[in-house]
Amino acid sequence: MSRLIHSVWVALGMGWLSGCAVGPVDRFTLEVDLPADFELKTAANYRPATGETCTLPVRRGKRPERKVFFTEFSPVANRVSYELPLSETIEGCPSVLHSVQFEFYGRWGKRDTDVGRDFGSIAIRDRLPDDFPTMPESGVQVLQGQCRWHFRTVGPLHAIRKILQCHSLDAMGLPEKTKPGGGAQRDQIEGKKLRLVLTVTKQELPAFRDRWIAVPRGWKRCRGTSFEDLTGACGGFTTDFKPIQMPDGRICDVYPTCNE
């Protein structure tokens, strides 16, 4: 090979490498930190890009504009990770990632039905309001969320059941009214990481007001009008209670310690 041809090939190769190094990275890494005994369903939703006049059909079954991912329950806390494109041409229509939706499933008991569910989402937009968090220099934008178990009783034995409720955390670590997630700006997350960190607080609370009375070792279930009263509101009476059935089958007076 002559020196001239060799030089041309070297120049083309360097130009190609340079183009790869500085060209746009049209994808990002989505990470979700899950607590122990949690399962996750994730759906990445695409819509026609801004300014496009094409449309995507409304349909059932196979939906190329919706990428769905599943994780299994894990006995320990773990992190799941996905590489998601920010734009795709779907059936000839230039489209962009519009949102990421989450379904969180947490186990609170040993039976298959002892599972709670809640939701979250991240909006991906061309521009976000100025008060939204921006991508830090580390290249990892972290969104904090927290879940809590709320307990109630059901059936003639007043058996304990639990409801999962999850919310975003503000900059001070306090729960907000919104579900876990938030928003991200498309051009800020190119080639970067977007991480949702989900935790579970240890303190459980009653699912409904005026059904339980707090005692030193937990909560007592108000009796209501009778033992058979399934709603059993306290109604200002703080001395009339009834036993409850714990998830393991024990009949107890106090949740979660069983006895005072």
Per-residue pLDDT, 45 = 96
Are the C-beta atoms of 102 and 31 separated by less than 8 Å? no
Task: Count the neighbouring beta carbons within 10 Å of the beta carbon of residue 185.
Answer: 18
Query: Positive or negative, the Cα torsion across 252, 117, 169, 197?
Result: positive
Among 161-170, 186-195, 217-226, 228-237, the least confident range: 228-237
Angle at 76 between CA 44 and CA 152, to 5 degrees: 85
Tokens of 20: 């790869």
Whole-model pTM: value is: 0.84
Q: Model confidence over 184-209: pLDDT tens digits?
A: 999 999 999 999 999 999 999 999 99
Of the candidates 16, 20, 44, the residue with the CA atom closest to the CA atom of residue 30:
44
Are the C-beta atoms of 256 and 204 separated by less than 8 Å? yes
Task: Count the neighbouring beta carbons within 10 Å of the beta carbon of residue 253.
Answer: 17
Q: Model confidence over 7-50: pLDDT tens digits?
A: 433 333 333 333 333 445 699 999 999 999 999 999 999 999 99
Q: What one-letter code names the amino acid at 227? A: F
Q: Model confidence over 103-128: pLDDT tens digits?
A: 999 999 999 999 999 999 999 999 98
Per-residue pLDDT, 72 = 93
Residue with tokens 């007592």: 220
Per-residue pLDDT, 215 = 94
Q: What is the average per-residue pLDDT within 137-151? A: 96
Give the residue extent of every domain in the chain: 24-200, 208-256
Pairing verdict, β 38-48 and 66-70: antiparallel
Is the confidence at residue 164, as pLDDT, over 60? Answer: yes
CA 243: distance to chain centroid? Answer: 35
Are the C-beta atoms of 224 and 232 separated by less than 8 Å? yes
Of the candidates 61, 124, 45, 56, the residue with the CA atom closest to the CA atom of residue 94:
56
Per-residue pLDDT, 40 = 97
